[in-house]
């Protein structure tokens, strides 16, 4: 069963918190609008990215974001399983 939501003219649509929304590029009126969208996406590049040198001049190299620093790997523990008994078929 599908659900249709409508609004009265002039009303603001209800934002459904368990949904995703695509950018409506027809609503972009200036380059600043596009810059705002890109900034909200939090685009970042690792030095290992194949095109890092291409975008390096645009990156904020004074404020790197450490990734994985201080994290430890989870401890791997041996799992002790009981021995399984084999069942013999009739006639063996």
Task: Tell me what pLDDT residue 88 has.
Answer: 76
The span from the CA of 89 to the CA of 16, in Å, is: 59
Closest Cα partner for 19 from 1, 38, 5? 5
Residue 14 has pLDDT above 90, yes or no: yes
The span from the CA of 85 to the CA of 82, in Å, is: 9
Please state the φ and ψ torsions of residue 30, each to the nearest 5 degrees: -150, 170
Report the range out of 5-14, 45-54, 73-82 with the highest average pLDDT.
Answer: 45-54
Residue 36 has pLDDT above 80, yes or no: yes
Say if pTM beats, i.e. exceeds, 0.85.
no
């Amino acid at each position: 069963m599908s659900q249709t939501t409508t609004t009265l003219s002039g009303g603001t649509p209800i934002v459904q918190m368990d949904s995703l929304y695509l950018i409506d590029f027809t609503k972009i009126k200036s380059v600043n609008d596009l810059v705002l969208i890109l900034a909200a996406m939090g685009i970042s590049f690792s030095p290992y990215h194949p095109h890092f040198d291409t975008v390096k001049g645009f990156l904020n190299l004074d404020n790197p974001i450490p990734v994985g620093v201080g994290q430890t790997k989870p401890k791997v523990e041996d799992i002790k399983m009981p021995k399984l008994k084999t069942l013999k078929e009739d006639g063996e």
